[in-house]
Amino acid sequence: MTSQRTRDRLVQRLRDNGIRNEAVLEQIRNVPRHLFVDEALASRAYEDTALPIGLGQTISQPWVVARMTEALLEGFSGETVLEIGTGCGYQTAVLAPFVKKIYTVERIPELMRKTRQRLYDLDIYNVQFRPGDGWEGWRKYAPYDGIIVAAAADELPEKLLQQLAPGARMIIPVGRTGYQDLLQVTRKDDHFEEVSLGAVSFVPLVHGK
């Protein structure tokens, strides 16, 4: 169930469902998603569906990860990305080859510790981790050339908007539990432009550590 044929079927499904960036599709094929879920769920790792990872969190649906990555990278010309909601690290692993540095924030320390080791085991070293409140971002290394948020906010987080570099974009699900709108928010000179990328379902972006 973790064979190359199984991975190829997943990639073809994503392509059939509108993912166009072939480099992102190749990375989806290469990242061993079965290592990011519990062993009991490994046989389902290459289904196009979200799966529980414990602690009330989920590993995102591969189509959503591919779409968010594709949207972030379109026209991307910078080096640094802020990731909010490290989770199991699957989104981080898919994005890692395309950027120089990922700064990632996770609210649950236990989850962050496991994910850091998992990414090291996969020889992914261009990631810096911080436990904290995703609503606050990581001001120390701002502004960022892109921000990707893997949890749903009920409104656009003002502090994350302010940590975007001019011309940079943030990919974020916005809305209440059960249904959100995936938004691409681009910082212009004196305003932010929003484009809807479609309906998604994410765990909420929780305030506080």
Q: Active-site positions? A: 60
Strand ranges of the sheet holding 80-84, from the earlier edge strand across to the other edge: 127-131, 101-106, 80-84, 144-149, 164-174, 180-187, 192-200
